[in-house]
Amino acid sequence: MFINSISYKKISAELAAKNVALVAVSKTKPVEEIARLYNLGQKNFGENYVQELAEKYEQLPKDIQWNFIGHLQSNKVKFIAQFVSLIQSVDSLKLLHEINKQAKKNNRIIDCLLQIHIAKEETKFGLNENELQEIIAEIVGKENQFKYISIKGLMGMASFTNDIEIVRNEFKFLKSLFDKYSQFTMLREESFRHHSPFTILSMGMSADYKMAIEEGSNMVRIGSLLFGER
């Protein structure tokens, strides 16, 4: 088994000193390995498949904070709505409506991040700036339609490349959107009660988290550095 308590302690101390939250990305990893990290003190985990997440939720301690970080289809929201703590990958208004509906059924407010497409690759999901603007305008304009969600900030995944300047520029771009729209929501704070201001900027993975933090990230999603290669 890979999990090395020394590397976990080192990374979590490094992040805590910088006030950066750690989401341990446990996709494809068995519950035994997740439990091991949990016993070292980690409470925040990330998964990207609905069924896998629902099964792990059943088997693991109920005070784990589960983050959904993969592409989420609207018809699957119902399987995680009861317990998910942060859906990081909201990329459409349709999905937001469905999350709101399922949150209402479960009598809770679900925290969400809007996923921004910052990478060059077409295969990655997320909103462009215009789409982000449209979604924010819709939420601000029709706030009572979205009583059961709370938009906490933005998430993005950089390009898969060795060219670190490309990655750095993508992080800078995401941070600029975070600053720009965080302010936008604050201006309307009174009518934008649940959604203002942005507090979470989720960017950075095993290979690039240090750079992401230099560029303003306050939440990193780390898988292979903690659990080994998938």
Ligand X SMILES: *Cc1c(COP(=O)(O)O)cnc(C)c1O
CB 82 within 8 A of CB 99: no
Residue 71 beta carbon to ligand X: minimum distance, rounded to whole angstroms = 9
Using CB under 6 A as the criterion, what x/- string covers residues 36-55 for binding ligand X?
------------x-------
CB 69 within 8 A of CB 94: no
Any contact of residue 213 with ligand X (CB under 6 A)?
Answer: no
Any contact of residue 205 with ligand X (CB under 6 A)?
Answer: yes
Three-state secondary structure call for residue 92: coil
What are 114's strand-pairing partners?
A: 90, 154
The one among 3, 34, 69, 80 contacting ligand X by CB under 6 A: 69
Sign of CA dihedral 73, 79, 81, 86: negative
- Cis geometry, peptide bond prior to residue 197 (ω within 30 degrees of 0): yes
**Closest residue to ligand X: CB criterion:** 223
The one among 14, 21, 27, 35 contacting ligand X by CB under 6 A: 27
Three-state secondary structure call for residue 87: strand
Residue 28 beta carbon to ligand X: minimum distance, rounded to whole angstroms = 9
Residue ranges in 152-171 that form contacts with ligand X under rule CB under 6 A: 157
121: exposed, middle or buried (Cβ count in 10 Å: 0-12, 13-18, 19+): exposed
The one among 126, 153, 156, 223 contacting ligand X by CB under 6 A: 223
CA distance 130 to 19: 31
Any contact of residue 221 with ligand X (CB under 6 A)?
Answer: yes
The one among 3, 11, 20, 25 contacting ligand X by CB under 6 A: 25
Residue with smaller CB distance to ligand X, 139 or 225: 225
Binding site for ligand X (CB under 6 A): 25, 27, 48, 69-70, 157, 205-207, 221-225
